[in-house]
Structure 1
Amino acid sequence: MILHWKIYALSGQAPPKNTNPENAFGWLDDPDVAAVFEKVCAELLPESDRGAVLIAADIATQQLDKAFVSRGPKYMKSRIRRMQSYPGIASTLSAKAEIAGLCGWIDEKCLNAIDSLRKIRNEAAHSDGQFSLETQTEQLNNMLALGKGVSNAVHNMAVELLVLNFFHTLRKDGEKLVNVLGENPFGSFEKIVEELEKRPEWSTTLEARIPRIKLGLGLCLIVWLIAQKQEAPDV
């Protein structure tokens, strides 16, 4: 069962009727992407927007480093390590991505996505005061411009993940109140929706998390594109 369906299982809900479990969001089943997805959930999403962006850029950097080692000729291995270390020619995220693009290891859309992530990272690293991904909508959309409909699909998936996780958490918390109230006040989606309508501030808080989830999913897509066909040539 792919990760997308595992999320539905956690929520206790059935997946969409016209969804095929064999190919829906199948890119999440790639081992590299699955590992990054777990890291996104465990480390990136709980962070502040600034921290999440810095983690995302570090993960993209690590994946490009792996591509250099796996795709570069074997006789270059020791030199590759020097190239990747400061002040080597491939020591920055920008340089790694451009060299990968020059060598044909990533396509133009992936290169542009990494460049957009780098620009967001620079804003996060150098901005004074509080940093918010809500101010980076254009660059985030550019990062997700990986194909027709990808940006909208990632947005919808981000909302879906957020809502399902929120419902699952409330249900679990509500179980602690059964002995006091005689029932779980959040025992059904209908009850949770009613509570959301009474507390509009909850919706505002949830919506503020969507850009961070989109960042994490966009990162997973970048990693998937980097991870394709990473066999080293025998030269």
Structure 2
Amino acid sequence: MRILEKLQEISQLRLELDKETDRGCALLGVSYLDEELKELIQSYLVQNNTIQKKIFDNNGGLATLSSKIDIAFLLGLISKETYNDLNYIRKIRNEFAHSKYSIDFNNKEVSKIIKNLKSHYRDSSESSRKIFISTIYGILSKINILKDKVENIKERKEDATKEQQLKDSMAQHRANIKNYHELLIQVHKDSPNKEELIRKEMMDYIKDVQEASVKVLKTVEKTTPPNNV
């Protein structure tokens, strides 16, 4: 899903949060945030589903929101401000999830934590609920912009790796042809009767390299976008 589609999805979430009770708003918002943070981290990691499933599921090292926040910060994926706000939001979620009583955003402890939030565009005089929802929305927007950038970087790295592999392959082919040529010169001196055989092998090899190069170039032309895209 591209960035604009994802931002539309986040906007829809905001409408859903507006319909929820305070407890539902806190739990749903943070649950969605947890999943998006997971996807951001996954987009940065090697794509091995078995290992990723092991570390993100159940008792894995990155199963909790707290661990995801820490690793995202240590990988340089989120700023210190976002790191702090995510931890404040996690604490707010815990207040709602673990309270034996019905509480809302006007709860003294919840309001105190919300005053520390930075990733929103609300005036500090507005309600704690509005500031909380705005912060969720702000962080989700940041995460998805970052996710899009990480995916673009990975694509460029993959393209660069393929290009280097092609260069290495062509260099090896040139070295092999040179070796054939040197062998041909040596055979011409020492065993003239084998010269034609070596020459034929060299020409067959060159033909194979040429055919392989044509296939590679056709593939590159198909996968390389035009300059005006």
> Would the TM-score normalized by the shorter structure come out above 0.5?
yes
Return the structure number with greater helix share: 2
Q: Give yes or no for the alignment of 1:214 onto 2:188.
A: no
String of CA shifts for 1:49-80, please: whole Å, max 9, x gaps. 11110011101101111112212123x44312
Q: Structure 2 CA distance, aligned partners of 1:97 and 1:46?
A: 27
Q: Name which structure has the greater RCO, CA cutoff 8 Å, separation 6+.
A: 1
SS in 2 for 1:129: coil
Q: Give yes or no for the alignment of 1:46 onto 2:19.
A: yes
Query: Which residue does 2:91 correspond to in 1?
Result: 119
Query: Which residue does 1:36 correspond to in 2?
Result: 10
Instruction: Report matched runs for 1:106-185 at 5 Å.
Output: 106-135=78-107, 136-143=110-117, 145-146=118-119, 150=120, 153-155=121-123
Change (3 A) 1:224 1:55: same
- Which AA in structure 2 matches 1:49? D
Instruction: Report matched runs for 1:4-83 at 5 Å.
Output: 30-41=4-15, 43-74=16-47, 76-83=48-55
Whether the 8 Å contact between 1:57 and 1:118 is mirrored in structure 2 is yes
- Which AA in structure 2 matches 1:58? S
Query: Which residue does 2:150 correspond to in 1?
Result: 230
Q: Structure 2 CA distance, aligned partners of 1:220 and 1:91?
A: 23
- Which AA in structure 1 matches 2:133? G
**Aligned-residue identity in percent:** 24
Moved more, 221-230 or 47-56: 221-230
- Which AA in structure 2 matches 1:73? V
Change (3 A) 1:31 1:216: farther
Whether the 8 Å contact between 1:64 and 1:96 is mirrored in structure 2 is yes
TM-score, structure 2 length as denominator?
Answer: 0.58
Q: Structure 2 CA distance, aligned partners of 1:134 and 1:30?
A: 34
Task: Note the residue ranges of structure 1 that are not aligned, 5 or more in a row.
Answer: 1-28, 160-209
- Which AA in structure 1 matches 2:122? V
Task: Note the residue ranges of structure 2 that are not aligned, 5 or more in a row.
Answer: 159-229
Query: Which residue does 2:198 correspond to in 1?
Result: none
Q: Structure 1 CA distance, aligned partners of 2:11 and 2:129?
A: 13
TM-score, structure 1 length as denominator?
Answer: 0.57
Change (3 A) 1:212 1:33: farther
The aligned length equals: 148
Q: Structure 2 CA distance, aligned partners of 1:33 and 1:113?
A: 20
Whether the 8 Å contact between 1:33 and 1:220 is mirrored in structure 2 is no
Whether the 8 Å contact between 1:67 and 1:226 is mirrored in structure 2 is yes
Query: Which residue does 2:213 correspond to in 1?
Result: none
Q: Structure 2 CA distance, aligned partners of 1:64 and 1:113?
A: 13
Whether the 8 Å contact between 1:154 and 1:217 is mirrored in structure 2 is yes
- Which AA in structure 2 matches 1:226? I
Larger Rg: 2
SS in 2 for 1:230: helix
Residue 30 of structure 1 deviates from its aligned partner by: 4.6
- Which AA in structure 2 matches 1:110? T
